A and B are shown apart, each in its own frame.
Chain A
């Protein structure tokens, strides 16, 4: 029986070794960027609220720290 010609023309070549490094390097960088982005966008409403609220929460003296004392 004749051999399947698709198998004959099929490559047995392995990808270059540096490809693994390249792929995982890109993956690590993508993870880092996702984590970095999450710092800003995960719960921005809560972050902004904490920053600008007037009533201090637990363990806070005031929500508007750093303002000069009233005369």
Chain B
């Protein structure tokens, strides 16, 4: 072949090696390889958080452009995927916060939490019917919704979440616990007459 497509020889490289190439040459075709690897996940995450295809489309566009323009800030301490999901998380939250009306989920008392409480509320949340879970997630604060989706849809570990949220492990566990409790409280509000 007389003309090789740019970026074509790099498809076997690791994410981080591709990032180095993008940083060096600011080459859109090489960046396209990273796009191909991560766009479906980023798009689906935006879709889960917004429940709107057109908005998810636009958010995904902006997230990749932001990632490209900030590539020099990626220092390799975390995986490229985690760094990109952090941008996704923050960008989606910013967007949703601008749009969100007052959250309807009731206040919950968080005093004296035990590991047994954590286990119990996780079991309860994962025991919900899927169609009801969607309604519950739509009614809670966007920050709670986002962390629950990253944890239970993306199967992110506590360690991954500490990198994503830039928080300590105990803070992440507390944030997760609170998100689960608020979701369960919202469930009671919505379905108390038909549990």
Contact = CB atoms under 8 A, between A and B. Distances in A.
Interface of A: 2, 4-16, 19-20, 22-24, 26-28, 30-31, 34
- Residues of B contacting A: mostly: helix
Interface in B10-27: 26
Contacts of A22: 61
Interface residues of B, number: 34
6 contacts: A4-B126, A12-B44, A15-B56, A15-B57, A19-B57, A27-B65
A31 B24 CA distance: 12
Interface of B: 26, 28-29, 31-32, 35-36, 39-40, 43-44, 47-48, 53, 56-57, 60-61, 64-65, 68-69, 126-130, 133-134, 137, 148-149, 152-153
B53 to A, nearest CB: 8
B28 A5 contact: no
A23 B130 contact: no
